Amino acid sequence: MDRKTGIDLGTSSLRICVKGRGLVYNEPTAAAFSSERELLCYGEKAKRMLGRTPADKDAIRPLRAGVIANFEDSVEMLSAILSDKGLRGAISRPKIAVSVPYGITEVERNAFENVCVAASGGRDIFMVIKQPMAAAAGCGVDVLNTKGRLICDIGGGNTETSVIVFRGIASAGTARVGGDDLDEAIARYVKDSYNVVIGPQTAEQIKLAAGSAHRLTESGDYGVCGRNMLTGQVVRVILRSSEVREAMSEVLDRITEHIKSVLEHIPPQISSDVFESGMTLCGGTASLPGLDRYFSEKLSMPVTVADEPSLCVIRGTEKIIASAGEFLQVVSEGEEY
């Protein structure tokens, strides 16, 4: 049986949907291997092992900044997941659609396709989806008829901003900056201010617990443990939410500059529609408290956060693989389907 299967292979999370079944997988993009390079586990379990594996094991994240950094490991991971979900084998043959970030190189794009081909047992990809189109469809935009909508997808490694208008992308851009950079900025701040070293996972926990993009959405203090660089001892640091915001500000500025650069290229005839309808934020980082208010002030336009923002791309993919006709041509990279 052919199963139309949609894949969003993100820097932070891998999401898989199946036509008629909906979302069947949503876990961190991580895998752990033995010293013989045998896959031990993937997803949530592998993420918990990052940075704390014994010498004979290796936990990795196979994507960096939105693109595939490790081809073989990505194939192993995806292949095991498809098998475990009953989507790969003699009876169940997946027909895979994969969404790819906008503005990546051909080599990077081919890597997404080839990972899916290899992981599904040599099956051709039936469709390569433009990720901004999947994001827009997942945000509820009618991409065939919209007058002009600005969508910004801020993930773990990428920020993708696009203006969708009547069946096409009027202006778009991708910046290799996202939630991972916020985590790194927090870790750097703790090191520079307290001489304490923390790992990226701890920095992410700080962001999730006390992170905020606007002073009006700051929350309480957050305590973390790390190693003092001078004494070597494990110490506890209490961070104020305002400090976390300060630590992240340079990265948020970079994202703002990127969005402005996309806005500069909007054709003048649609810019009033875009500024009136405002910007819709999606991607996991859109859940950062106050980010809508922050961008609204910086860009002088209304900003809203989509429902379940981290799921917009896969929800859009789900709609796409269930549809037919012109919609498919508009959202695909022009592959056969």
Ligand X SMILES: Nc1ncnc2c1ncn2[C@@H]1O[C@H](COP(=O)(O)OP(=O)(O)OP(=O)(O)O)[C@@H](O)[C@H]1O
List residues binding Mg ion (CB under 5 A): 10, 155
Residue among 169, 127, 153, 172 nearest 320 (CA): 127
- 138 near ligand X, judged by CB under 6 A: no
Please give the backbone phi and psi of residue 130, each rounded to the nearest 5 degrees, phi first: -70, 120
For residue 65, give every residue at least 6 positions away whose Cβ sits within 8 Å of its Cβ, in sequence order, or none.
11, 157, 158, 176, 178, 180
Q: Which residue is nearest to ligand X (CB)?
A: 179
The one segment of 114-122, 138-146, 174-182, 230-238 that binds ligand X by CB under 6 A: 174-182
173 near ligand X, rule: CB under 6 A: no
- d(CA 46, CA 297) in angstroms, rounded, equals 39
| Shortest Cβ 58–ligand X spacing (Å) | 21
Map the footprint of ligand X across residues 297-326, applying CB under 6 A. 310
Q: How many residues bind ligand X (CB under 6 A)?
A: 22
Among residues 103, 138, 211, 316, which is the contact residue for ligand X, using CB under 6 A?
211
C-alpha radius of gyration, the chain, whole number:
20
Binder to ligand X among 53, 205, 217, 287 (CB under 6 A)?
A: 287
Stretch that binds ligand X, among 32-40, 77-85, 153-161, 294-302 (CB under 6 A): 153-161
Residue 94 as a binder of ligand X (CB under 6 A): the answer is: no
Residues 284 and 12 sit within 8 Å (Cβ to Cβ): yes
Mutual orientation of helices 200-210 and 179-194 as an angle, nearest 10°? 100
Distance CA 106, CA 98 (A): 15
Site of interaction with ligand X (CB under 6 A): 10-13, 66, 155-158, 178-180, 204, 207-208, 211, 283-285, 287-288, 310
